[in-house]
Amino acid sequence: MENYHTHTFRCNHAEGDASDYAQAAIDKGLTILGITDHTPLPDNRWLYMRMGLSALPVYARAIEEAQDAYADLTILKGMECEWAPEYHNFFHEVLLGEYRFDYLVLGCHFFPFQGSWLSSHVDIVSPKRLLAYTRFLIESMQSGLFAFVAHPDLFGLSYFEWDENTKAASKEILSAAQELHLPLEINGYGLMNRIVRTKKGERTAYPWLAFWEVAKDYDIKVVVNSDAHYPNNVDQGILEGQDLAKSLGLPLANMNYLKGGCDV
């Protein structure tokens, strides 16, 4: 089993460090472990859910130390990033360049709307906002910096009904992924924990089944990750997510190339 998406205590809403995840990964029989905490940003924005810039060297070192200590496990040095034009150079020059991160994950937790930044978790409550999220996610995907897109269907947390807008948004995201050959993530954390109540009953917020049913019509690949915020959850939802992909006929992406470092 492989997992390319985990968080450490540094983001202020997770527990454990790289070595704790490595031990848990070995205990649970994983072969590849990607550590991808929420990236710091050069302007230290949204600090309540990410490390500050000053923690970056220690974070990188903690992963490198785990790599040395757990030689039987492939541990990858990654980061989950909010893309924005003003951050592009930081990701490219500092994370991938100077710090030689193996890969970056796109996690679009915020998007610009009418002059301010909204949360992709709670603020996608109208078709206009859904469109803004969709367009910004695609612009982020087009940056060429990312190995895959975490929870592309995150809009399912605050946009409750499946309608022509969600269908159009899903199609736009899926065709961008197809064109860019960018794998999309089935998120294990969401699959096991994120239930929303809608007029039509309960459903998983993300992965939103309706999104992945549309995905069947596209030539895309998926990656299933736990998005663990606790070492003990390092494998959560991965088998279930793989079953979901299989039942829909969605092929798994081969992420093995990341072991050799990301070539951007």
**Residue of minimal CB distance from Zn ion?**
227
Residue (149 or 244) nearer to Zn ion, CB: 149
Least Å distance, CB 3 to Zn ion, is: 11
Which residues fall within 8 angstroms of residue 104, CB to CB, at 6 or more apart? 39, 78, 79, 80, 81, 91, 95, 96, 145, 146, 147, 262
Task: Based on DSSP, count helices (H) and strands (E) in the chain, helices before strands.
Answer: 8, 11
Q: Which of 82, 123, 227, 235 binds Zn ion (CB under 5 A)?
A: 227
3-class DSSP state of 139: helix
Per the rule left: phi > 0, alpha: psi between -120 and 50, beta: everything else, 198 is beta
Q: Say if strands 222-225 and 2-3 run parallel, antiparallel, or are unpaired.
A: unpaired
Q: Give the nearest distance from C-beta 146 to Zn ion in angstroms.
A: 13
Dist. CA 140–CA 94, nearest whole Å: 18
Q: How far is the CB of 5 from Zn ion (least distance, A)?
A: 5
CB-nearer residue toward Zn ion: 1 or 49: 49
Query: Which of these segments, 79-87, 95-103, 234-242, 243-251, binds Zn ion (CB under 5 A)?
Result: 79-87
| In the block, residue with structure tokens 């039509």 | 200
Amino acid code (one letter) for 100? R
Of 51-59, 74-82, 157-165, 234-242, the window that binds Zn ion (rule: CB under 5 A) is: 74-82
Query: Judged by CB under 5 A, does residue 17 bind Zn ion?
Result: no
Q: Applying CB under 5 A, what is the total number of residues that bind Zn ion?
A: 2
Q: What are phi and psi of 21, to 5 degrees?
A: -65, -40
Nearest 5°: the CA angle 220, 225, 227 is 130
Tell the smallest beta-carbon distance from residue 187 to Zn ion (Å).
8
Region 155-214 residues binding Zn ion, contact defined as CB under 5 A: none
Cβ neighbours of 60 (radius 10 Å): 19
Token pair, residue 157, equals 């947390």
Distance of closest approach, residue 167 Cβ to Zn ion, in angstroms: 26
By the 8 A CB rule, do 37 and 222 touch? no
Q: Which is nearer to Zn ion, 80 or 82 (CB)?
A: 80
The least distance separating Zn ion from the CB of residue 36, rounded to whole angstroms, comes to 7
Min dist CB 14 to Zn ion, Å, is: 6
**Binding-site member from 20, 80, 102, 123 for Zn ion (CB under 5 A):** 80
- Closer to Zn ion at the Cβ: 156 or 214? 156
Binding residues vs Zn ion (CB under 5 A): 80, 227
